[in-house]
Structure 1
Amino acid sequence: MESVYFYEDKVSKDVAKVLEDDFFKRIGYIVRECCKLLGSERKGYFLYIKANSEDIDRAEEKFEGVGLEKLIGEEKKLVTAAFVAEEENAASGMGMIFG
């Protein structure tokens, strides 16, 4: 299961503090600036988490009151596809180095 969130720069310190939790280090996450990932008009960051539904639910509990906006619909599909493509490109690049 994948979940994508948006947050503005003004709450980035609060989000970073939550992400320091060992729980997030275990499940993993990726943060990218909106404009660098998609050339998005949004000003801020996208947070991508790929985990089982139980961990996603737990992550959302930890994010309560921090200022994250959960993406849904078409925007979620576009941003998720960009993160997946980035991961695939990184994996293929490593294959070329070590392959």
Structure 2
Amino acid sequence: MNLKELRNQIKQSLNRENVAAMLQALGYEVNRDYKFKIRDERTPSSSIRRDGYIKDFGSGWGGDIVAFIHEHHNTPLKEATLWVAQCLGIRYE
């Protein structure tokens, strides 16, 4: 399996619950409405859709958890992909 196939498998496996769990593992507080703060702000401006897609209404950014880790945590795309796959129990060889 190549990285592109792995990303596709990840996207099919994402949902609100597992994305929220990964964000919490990264130190974010996700409320029961699946909203969270990316920046230091009074109220959360980011949310997780049912399909696991993240939308930041404060900046207009949107993407999956792999893109979020890659862009907001300056993590190489391959590392971010492998971390998410590991969290989801998807094996990559």
Higher helix share: 1
Give me the TM-score of the superposition, normalised by structure 2: 0.27
Give me the TM-score of the superposition, normalised by structure 1: 0.26
Higher strand share: 1
Rg bigger for which structure?
A: 1
